[in-house]
Amino acid sequence: MRVLSGEELDRAERLVVEARRRHFIVARAVLRIILGAYTDVRPEELRFRAGVYGKPALESHRGREMPAFNVSHSHGLALYAIAAPGRRVGIDVEYIRRRVNWLGIAERQFAPGEAAFITGVPEDERIHAFFRIWTRKEAYLKATGKGLSVPLNHFDVSRLPGGQACFVDEGGLLKEMQGWSFQDLAPCDGYTAALAAEGKVDGLYLGQWTGEDFGLPDGFECRGD
Ligand SMILES: CC(C)(COP(=O)(O)OP(=O)(O)OC[C@H]1O[C@@H](n2cnc3c(N)ncnc32)[C@H](O)[C@@H]1OP(=O)(O)O)[C@@H](O)C(=O)NCCC(=O)NCCS
């Protein structure tokens, strides 16, 4: 059975690196299967449309509203978040790369308070502070659909682990944050992730390459209420 659309297969064809191509195909098929289960629509019948900045959303099906969702991939891992129709939801997962100059990235790209916070924590915690802030920022931007078209230094997220993960204090965005939920996720060793959603999230799923296979070993549910 063919699950992907012609457009998705064309996109896969354009991915030159075979591992990336296979990851895209399987991760997109898994997305369709998850969304099919939420909507009672056959996975191959689901139609996506892209927002102005490329965020995919489901088209309504036979007049029915469809759930909101967002996906993130990093280093063989895919995370999927599903929310009620019309809700904004964003998710970001990052493999913790130790060799990049993450302190330099924070100084150049984060809000000044965020960069200062990272340099102020004990050295062995800095990398985790960096990735925690990074994923919170990107999850929020993905929820809005604007992604990295918004400069990362235009807003400031909370930095401490746990609890309500996020607030925004610049550019008039603070008000917009009321009614949102933020969550730090630890999907598996070596990765960090964050979720940002208007209201609560209905489902959260993880897919991971294990050798040759891509599976959903730990489908997990959690709520952002
Ligand atoms: C969305 C964006 C943040 C993704 O960053 P990334 O770390 O490479 O990717 P992630 O794995 O976290 O997310 C990719 C998924 O997010 C979704 N996505 C794509 N565009 C999105 C957007 N604007 N907002 C939210 N989600 C988006 C897609 O489902 C995509 O998965 P797919 O490739 O299987 O279709 C980045 O591509 C972006 O900012 N795009 C919009 C603005 C833009 O084009 N800027 C260009 C200058 S930087």
pLDDT tens profile 108-136 = 999 888 899 999 999 999 999 999 999 99
- Is residue 11, in this structure, part of any structural domain at all? yes
Query: CATH number of the domain that 187 lies in?
Result: 3.90.470.20
In the predicted model, is pLDDT for residue 221 greater than 50? no
In the predicted model, what is the mean pLDDT of the chain? 86
pLDDT at position 157, please? 81
Q: What is the rounded distance in angstroms from the CA atom of residue 33 to the CA atom of residue 160?
A: 36
Q: Which of 14, 72, 144 to mutate to test the pocket of ligand 1 (most atoms within 8 A of CB)?
A: 72
Q: Is residue 224 part of a domain?
A: no
Atom of ligand 1 nearest to the CA of 147: 39
Tell me, what DSSP letter sits at residue 86? Answer: T
The set of protein residues with a Cβ atom below 6 angstroms from ligand 1 is 27-28, 53-56, 70-73, 90, 92, 138, 142, 145, 147-149
Q: For residue 139, give the amino acid letter.
A: A
Calculate how far, in angstroms, residue 73's C-alpha sits from the geometric centre of ligand 1: 10
Picking from 144, 207, 197, the residue whose alpha carbon sits closest to that of residue 171 is 144
Pocket test for ligand 1, best of 15, 30, 31, 53 (most atoms within 8 A of CB): 53
pLDDT one-digit tens code per residue, 18-77: 888 988 998 999 999 999 999 999 999 999 999 999 999 999 999 999 999 999 999 989
Exposure letters 12-22 (e unless 16+ CB within 10 A, then b): beeeeeeeeee
Under the banding of pLDDT at 50, 70 and 90, the label for residue 175 is: low
Higher pLDDT, 1 or 121: 121
Q: Residue 153: what pLDDT?
A: 87
Q: Say which amino acid occupies 70.
A: N
Question: How many whole angstroms from 51 Cα to the centroid of ligand 1?
Answer: 11
Closest CA to 133 of 158, 103, 102, 168: 158
Beta bridge partners of 71: 80
Q: What are phi and psi of 157, to 5 degrees?
A: -105, 160
The per-residue pLDDT for 132 is: 92
Q: What is the pTM of this model?
A: 0.91
The domain tally of the chain equals: 1
Q: What is the pLDDT of residue 220?
A: 39
- Name the residue of 134, 148, 185, 191 whose CB sits within 8 Å of the most ligand 1 atoms, as the mutation to test its pocket: 148
To the nearest whole percent, how much of the chain has pLDDT over 90?
Answer: 62
Give the domain range for residue 195. Answer: 6-215
